[in-house]
Chains A and B, each alone.
Chain A
Amino acid sequence: MNERQDAVEVVGLRKVFERRARRGLLRRAQGEEKTLIAVDGIDFRVKRGEIFGLLGPNGAGKTTTIKMLCTLLSPTSGTARVAGHDVVREAAKVRCSLGTVLTGERSVYWKLTGRENLRYYAALYRIPRRKARERIAELLERLELAGRADELVEKYSSGMKQRLALARALLPSPPILLLDEPTVGLDPQAARNLRQTIFDLKAEGKTVLLTTHYMAEADELCDRIAIIDQGRIIALDSPAALKEGLGAKEVVRLEIQGEPNGLGDALRALALVESVAVRPSANGAGTCELQVITSNSRRSIGPIIESVRAAGHEVVHLQVVQPTLEDVFIRLTGKSLRD
């Protein structure tokens, strides 16, 4: 990869899956054909040495994107280059410059020990035996697995399996790492440790492209974020710039009783209110949540409450908060990232 080249370069990338209704053993025959657009023409560049996040809800197309970059899936159209190599025409070179962790704990053999796993993968990466031994010892030490390296993986905790999967990806010392939901299923402590490891990797000059659906994680970890929904990138910038882009200092979150018919429009008509998003709340109490973005909450909160009351609703809960990435997402899509 030459000095000025981007680590990852994606242009008009698209993936369309053909779907067949599946039934029975020989499940094709009468299945109706449908197509599903998982990734719908995305463009982005990951600069060398940065941590870049793909943030989006379930089914947004994050994993599909990662799989096209690591050569496990062929794009339907568009191009992607990793370390300057085309993912279709130079797949072998791409694989050599990448360390990928997909389904973390499932990518290692549970009936082998941690060390045996790494030894096996080192052989697949064709690392000479003596060098492999040193590299494995070093990685086990670094990822705090050295003490239990000779135990079967089935006895490891999820966090340990995840770290072993990362060690596997780091075996060939790749300049670029692809991590699909690296902290999913980890307890807060383990997730924090893993985030620290990712920072350390960046400090060593590695480029990291990761996916997540935790906003706080993306905010904390990433230099830049692409927010992806239904296969499209709907915003791409640094976390701070994305939040500033809301053009507001505050977000008023209201929880109200009943269906807010027409209330959104009434609120939008108020001075200082910039946008309103409405969605049913997740607590199952039959209430609704309103996200009102305002440039001055002190002056607009009175009129907001009056409008809600005037529409015959009761305010159950009210919060004034600094905007988060979640607010950015709600603003852009009208729905919550957690749904």
Chain B
Amino acid sequence: MGILKRVRDGLGIMLAVAVKELIQFRRYPSWVIAVFIWPLLFPIMSVFSARALAGPEGQALHAFAALSGTTDYTGYIIVGLVMWMWLNMTLWTLGSFMRSEQIRGTLEATWLCPVSRLGVLLGATCSQLLISMVNLTVSLIAFRYIWGFRIVGDLGLTALLFILSAAAVYGLGIAFASLVMWVKEANAMVFLVRGLFMVFCGMTYPLAVLPGWMRIVSRGLPLTYSIDGIRAVALAGAGLADVMGHIAALAAFAVVTLVAGFVAFRWTERRVLRTGALGHH
């Protein structure tokens, strides 16, 4: 089979899966909450906590600025939360995609087709990407009007950092989906992983407030670099030279997590063939 035909087949399968996922997504009424309400509600708590800690006239902001380099704590929190929500959604969607197909009994039917199984998972990734983009757009527009959130720096550079982060996150997501297939449990795993990222990536606070050993852990997580880099560019107008380190780190993470994701998936595929773990027991 020619390579061109294989690519076309692969894309066709991804599209079919993405369309099917979107149709199903729309048929569960809770989708409105996931896309429109949750991303707006979520940052409110952190922003008001910050306001309370800053004091009525913002007296404590100097201390914050000394650690974070900015007094715009709203923008600071929003960048952290948006990135974390992206991670959260990816893990949920990819992890629960495999799991729910497994429970429904449709995973075996899908596996019976002469298709690339990775293509099926990538299809689910595409539909997830679309949903996340809508989610992100809605949040950014709303934050602009509610909190006056604005990207002041270079949009292209922000986008680059974002795309590299997304790639790393999808690698994690694919590895995660593989894990879920044989642990047969998505919820606890999502809570664990996103909890780690929530604490260690400086979602709402500068890493400088963390004890030393925690800062070391932080350096091992891709989201740390995404959040820090995007804050620097989007909020403080940093240039390419300032975030070169971030870009390099994120690119490395993207390569490592994507490779790890694919390897984990292939490995799971083989294991499942031996144990029959595809069905629900």
Q: Give the docked Cα–Cα distance between A275 and B185 (Å).
A: 52
Flag whether A234 is at the interface (Cβ < 8 A): no
Q: Contacts A72-B276, A111-B27: A25 and B113 contacting too (C-beta < 8 A)?
A: no
Flag whether B108 is at the interface (Cβ < 8 A): yes
Q: Contacts A17-B275, A112-B24: A72 and B111 contacting too (C-beta < 8 A)?
A: yes
A94's nearest neighbour on chain B, judged by CB, is: B114
Flag whether B106 is at the interface (Cβ < 8 A): yes
Min CB–CB distance B27 → chain A (angstroms): 5
Contact across chains for A168 and B109 when beta carbons are under 8 A apart: yes
Q: Which residues of A contact B274 (CB under 8 A)?
A: 73-74
Flag whether A336 is at the interface (Cβ < 8 A): no
Taking a contact as CB atoms closer than 8 A, the residue among A71, A107, A111 that contacts B109 in the complex is A107
Q: Contacts A103-B108, A124-B16: A73 and B276 contacting too (C-beta < 8 A)?
A: yes
Q: Mark B84-114, 1 if CB is under 8 A from A, else 0.
A: 0000000000000000000011101111111
Q: Give the docked Cα–Cα distance between A109 and B100 (Å).
A: 11
Q: Contacts A92-B114, A103-B108: A112 and B276 contacting too (C-beta < 8 A)?
A: no
Min CB–CB distance A22 → chain B (angstroms): 10
How many of chain A's residues have a CB under 8 angstroms from any CB in B? 35
Taking a contact as CB atoms closer than 8 A, the residue among A64, A73, A112 that contacts B20 in the complex is A112
Q: Give the docked Cα–Cα distance between A96 and B114 (Å).
A: 6
Contact across chains for A120 and B112 when beta carbons are under 8 A apart: no
Flag whether B279 is at the interface (Cβ < 8 A): yes
Q: Which of B1-54 contact A (CB under 8 A)?
A: 9, 12-13, 15-17, 19-20, 23-24, 27-28
Q: Which residues of B contact A110 (CB under 8 A)?
A: 104
In the complex, which of the residues A17, A74, A110, A124 has the most CB atoms of chain B within 10 Å of its own CB atom?
A124
Q: Give the docked Cα–Cα distance between A193 and B162 (Å).
A: 57
Q: Contacts A123-B13, A123-B16: A72 and B24 contacting too (C-beta < 8 A)?
A: no
Contact across chains for B273 and A74 when beta carbons are under 8 A apart: yes
Contact across chains for B24 and A107 when beta carbons are under 8 A apart: no
Q: Give the docked Cα–Cα distance between A84 and B143 (Å).
A: 62
Q: Contact residue range for chain B?
A: 20 to 34
Q: Which residues of A contact B20 (CB under 8 A)?
A: 109, 112, 116, 120
The binding surface of chain A is classed by DSSP as mixed
Q: Give the docked Cα–Cα distance between A17 and B281 (Å).
A: 14
Q: Which residues of B contact A100 (CB under 8 A)?
A: 112
Q: Mark B57-70, 1 if CB is under 8 A from A, else 0.
A: 00000000000000
Q: Which of A3-29 contact B (CB under 8 A)?
A: 17-18, 25-26
Min CB–CB distance A154 → chain B (angstroms): 10
Q: Which residues of A contact B105 (CB under 8 A)?
A: 102-103, 106-107
In the complex, which of the residues B12, B188, B276, B279 has the most CB atoms of chain A within 10 Å of its own CB atom?
B276
Q: Which residues of B contact A214 (CB under 8 A)?
A: none
Flag whether B234 is at the interface (Cβ < 8 A): no
Q: Which residues of B contact A165 (CB under 8 A)?
A: 109
Contact across chains for B108 and A111 when beta carbons are under 8 A apart: no
In the complex, which of the residues B27, B112, B183, B278 has the most CB atoms of chain A within 10 Å of its own CB atom?
B112
13 examples of A-B residue contacts, CB within 8 angstroms: A18-B275, A25-B188, A73-B274, A98-B112, A102-B105, A108-B106, A108-B109, A109-B20, A111-B27, A112-B24, A120-B20, A123-B16, A126-B13
With A102-B112, A111-B23 known, 20 other A-B pairs at CB within 8 A are A64-B276, A70-B112, A71-B112, A72-B112, A96-B114, A98-B112, A103-B105, A106-B104, A106-B105, A106-B106, A107-B105, A107-B109, A108-B106, A109-B104, A111-B27, A112-B23, A112-B24, A120-B20, A125-B113, A126-B114
A-B pairs, top 7 by smallest CB distance, nearest first, are A106-B105, A123-B16, A107-B109, A124-B113, A95-B114, A74-B273, A111-B24
